[in-house]
């Protein structure tokens, strides 16, 4: 049976079926019949910043290991993983969750959401490392995605550990907590330097405890995250959704504001229900891929 070290809800029948479709051999995991998952959409829809696409293969880092992932139609191949990490990998890509079911329910809510969901139907909400998510989205504020990726990469190269040639882990909270703004200047994050350091210090001291945040109700957890200087509603929502998998989160950035105004007649986020976060990601991706709508 599936053992997960984190509090995480999932459909047991769905997860069991998924496990039966997996084959592990020579550090490679093969998963068949992943009908509702699209690796590329999931990794390039703006929820994560470190995966790189090289010749149809995505290279990223999970549990301090360099992972290669590729998809051929309904089959997913994930290589260079250890047996003990299999469940973490499946969890990272959120393969235990039935997105077909979520999509069918969301589509009833609004016709434009149905269109966005159909366009972005292969997206899964990842289970990323919460600290990495926190720092990455602090960096994201008033910034664009290519530059966010550059700064995050620079942060890892300067302050992470080299795991394989040219591949660095995301730096720990304790390392970042000890830096001065001047020392952090090498990553060119500008005014966000002090926000990054404050976040690292509050995580390192235990004032912000991600496992504890999992136990709090959504509003309380968001308020707790906002104790960090430089974390407001939007960054907190991103941490809760992409790092702690709180699916009711609905980060409102410039794209979402534009979309809600032009396409949803300023509908309130609460009306998207308990999977609002999935709706948000569908709408965000759909909007970014259809810029012409907003000109």
Place of tokens 């907590």: 177
Using rule CB under 7 A, residue 133 touches DNA: no
Nearer residue to DNA within complex by CB, 176 or 276: 276
Q: Does 22 engage in binding with DNA (CB under 7 A)?
A: no
Cα angle value 285/37/43 (rounded, 5°): 50
Segment 224-263, which members bind DNA (CB under 7 A)? 226, 228-236, 238, 251-256
Question: CB of 145 within 8 A of CB of 50?
Answer: no
Member of 142, 219, 265, 266 binding DNA (CB under 7 A): 142
Instruction: Examine residue 180 and tell whether it contacts DNA (CB under 7 A).
Output: no
In the numeric block, which tokens belong to residue 77? 């191949």
Q: How far is the CB of 196 from DNA (least distance, A)?
A: 12
| CA end-to-end distance (rounded Å), the chain | 51
CA–CA distances in Å: residue 225 to residues 10, 48, 244: 25, 19, 12
Q: Is 152 in the site for DNA (CB under 7 A)?
A: no
Does the footprint of DNA cover residue 148 (CB under 7 A)?
yes
The answer to whether the beta carbons of residues 122 and 160 sit under 8 Å apart is no
* Rounded Cα–Cα distance for residues 242 and 133 (Å): 7
The answer to the question of residue 17 lying near DNA (CB under 7 A) is no
Site for DNA in 197-226 (CB under 7 A): 226
Binding site for DNA (CB under 7 A): 45-47, 137, 140-148, 185, 188, 190-191, 226, 228-236, 238, 251-256, 280-281, 284
């Amino acid at each position: 049976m599936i053992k997960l070290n984190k509090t995480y809800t999932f459909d047991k029948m769905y997860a069991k079926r998924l496990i039966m479709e997996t084959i592990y051999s020579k550090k490679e995991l093969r998963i068949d019949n992943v009908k509702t998952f699209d690796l590329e959409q999931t990794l390039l829809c703006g929820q994560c910043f470190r995966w790189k696409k090289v010749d149809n293969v995505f290279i990223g880092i999970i549990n301090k290991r360099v992972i290669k992932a590729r998809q051929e139609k309904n089959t997913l191949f994930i290589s260079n993983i250890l047996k003990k990490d299999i469940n973490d990998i499946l969890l990272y890509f959120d393969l235990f969750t039935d997105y077909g079911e979520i999509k069918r329910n969301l589509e009833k809510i609004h016709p434009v959401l149905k269109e966005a969901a159909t366009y972005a139907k292969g997206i899964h909400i990842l289970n990323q490392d919460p600290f990495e998510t926190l720092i990455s989205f602090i960096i994201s504020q008033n910034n664009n995605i290519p530059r966010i990726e550059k700064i995050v990469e620079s942060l890892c190269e300067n302050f992470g550990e080299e795991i394989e040639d040219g591949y660095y882990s995301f730096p720990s909270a304790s390392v970042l907590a000890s830096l001065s703004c001047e020392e952090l200047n090498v990553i060119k994050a500008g005014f966000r330097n002090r926000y990054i350091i404050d976040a690292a210090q509050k995580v390192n001291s235990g004032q912000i405890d991600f496992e504890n945040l999992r136990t709090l109700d959504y509003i309380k957890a968001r308020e707790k995250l906002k104790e960090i200087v430089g974390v407001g509603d939007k960054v907190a929502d991103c941490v809760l959704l992409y790092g702690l998998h709180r699916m009711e989160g609905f980060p409102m950035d410039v794209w979402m504001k534009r979309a809600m105004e032009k396409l949803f007649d300023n509908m309130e986020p609460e009306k998207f229900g308990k999977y609002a976060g999935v709706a948000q990601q569908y709408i965000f991706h759909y909007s970014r891929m259809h810029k012409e709508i907003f000109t």
